[in-house]
């Protein structure tokens, strides 16, 4: 029988987007662009998901450059990978604020072993996007940042959600990172496709770290309470 790790690793190895994209938008696929991300993520999933125990699913927006774009693991930047997960990383020690918050939640939940035994974090769109701004700087871009991009990747997103359900083995509850556009999109899509019995919104880690840092503990407590419901 295939383990959860087997399923995740196979999904990542074969993950590819072949559809159209709006002008100036680039797809970001760490599993095609970086040998390090593929190897590191396989070590991570073998360590924490090498069983057949069903998980509860959290869906973020799409991978960012400093977290999953570097490590191949959602919301896990190189610093957290080394310090919290005990996995070596031979590359720049990038820092992603969202990863910092997620691992504060993980600590409050009981640590990485307890958290990853219960929870699997992925994204509505499994691959990230970037755009080059007027100053020539490459920046993260979200699947909902333009109607054109959302329309282009809609079928890809639907396929992805179906695959994540197969991986984690349950459809009762999905937790959505983001109470705004990500939740609105996922809820509307769920109303059409009936993937999950319910979707529980959680404030997005980046928003908390950037705008609500003084109230961070309140959000950590809210995450833990809802994840244990």
- Smallest CA-to-CA distance from 91 within 33, 36, 29, 31 is with 36
List the beta bridge partners of residue 59.
Answer: 122, 176
The pLDDT score that the predictor gives to residue 1 is 86
The pLDDT score that the predictor gives to residue 134 is 81
Q: Over the stretch 189-219, which tens digit does the pLDDT of each residue have? A: 999 999 999 999 999 999 999 999 999 999 9
Side-chain-side CA neighbours of residue 145 (13 Å): 16
Contact, 54 vs 170, CB < 8 A? Answer: yes
Give dist(CA 192, CA 30) in Å, integer: 31
- Smallest CA-to-CA distance from 120 within 1, 3, 39, 13 is with 3
- Smallest CA-to-CA distance from 200 within 61, 58, 101, 103 is with 58
The pLDDT score that the predictor gives to residue 229 is 83
The pLDDT score that the predictor gives to residue 36 is 87
How much is the average pLDDT of 15-40?
Answer: 91
Q: Over the stretch 119-135, which tens digit does the pLDDT of each residue have? A: 999 999 999 999 988 88
Q: What are the phi and psi torsion angles at 197 (to 5°)?
A: -70, -35
Domain limits, the chain: 4-227
User: For the domain 4-227, what is the CATH code?
Assistant: 3.40.470.10
Please, which residues have CB within 8 angstroms of residue 117's CB and are 6 or more apart in sequence? 48, 53, 55
* C-alpha to C-alpha distances, 85 to 78, 113, 166, nearest whole angstrom: 10, 9, 25
Is 0.85 topped by the overall pTM?
yes
Q: Over the stretch 152-197, which tens digit does the pLDDT of each residue have? A: 999 999 999 999 999 998 889 999 999 999 999 999 999 999 999 9
- More confident of the two residues 1 and 142: 142
Edge-first strand listing for the sheet containing 25-28: 25-28, 128-132, 138-141
Place of tokens 């593929």: 38
The pLDDT score that the predictor gives to residue 33 is 86
Q: Over the stretch 42-100, which tens digit does the pLDDT of each residue have? A: 999 999 999 999 999 999 999 987 778 889 999 999 999 999 999 999 887 888 899 99
């Amino acid at each position: 029988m295939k383990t959860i790790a087997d399923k995740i690793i196979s999904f990542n190895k074969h993950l590819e987007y072949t559809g159209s994209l709006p002008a100036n938008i680039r797809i970001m696929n760490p599993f095609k662009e970086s040998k390090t991300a593929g190897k590191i993520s396989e070590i991570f999933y073998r360590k924490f998901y090498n069983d057949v125990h069903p998980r509860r699913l959290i869906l973020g927006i799409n991978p960012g450059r400093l977290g999953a774009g570097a490590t191949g693991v959602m919301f896990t930047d190189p610093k957290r990978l080394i310090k919290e997960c005990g996995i070596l990383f031979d590359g720049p020690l990038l820092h992603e604020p969202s990863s910092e918050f997620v691992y504060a939640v993980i600590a409050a939940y009981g640590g990485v072993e307890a958290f990853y035994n219960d929870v699997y974090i992925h994204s509505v769109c499994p691959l990230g996007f970037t755009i080059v701004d007027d100053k020539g700087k490459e920046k993260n871009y979200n699947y909902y940042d333009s109607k054109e991009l959302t329309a282009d990747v809609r079928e890809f997103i639907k396929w992805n959600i179906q695959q994540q359900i197969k991986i984690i083995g349950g459809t009762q509850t999905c937790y959505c990172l983001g109470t705004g556009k990500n939740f609105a999109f996922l809820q509307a899509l769920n109303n059409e496709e009936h993937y999950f019995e319910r979707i529980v919104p959680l404030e997005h880690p980046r928003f908390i770290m950037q705008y609500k840092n003084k109230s961070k503990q309140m959000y950590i407590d809210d995450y833990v309470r809802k994840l244990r419901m």
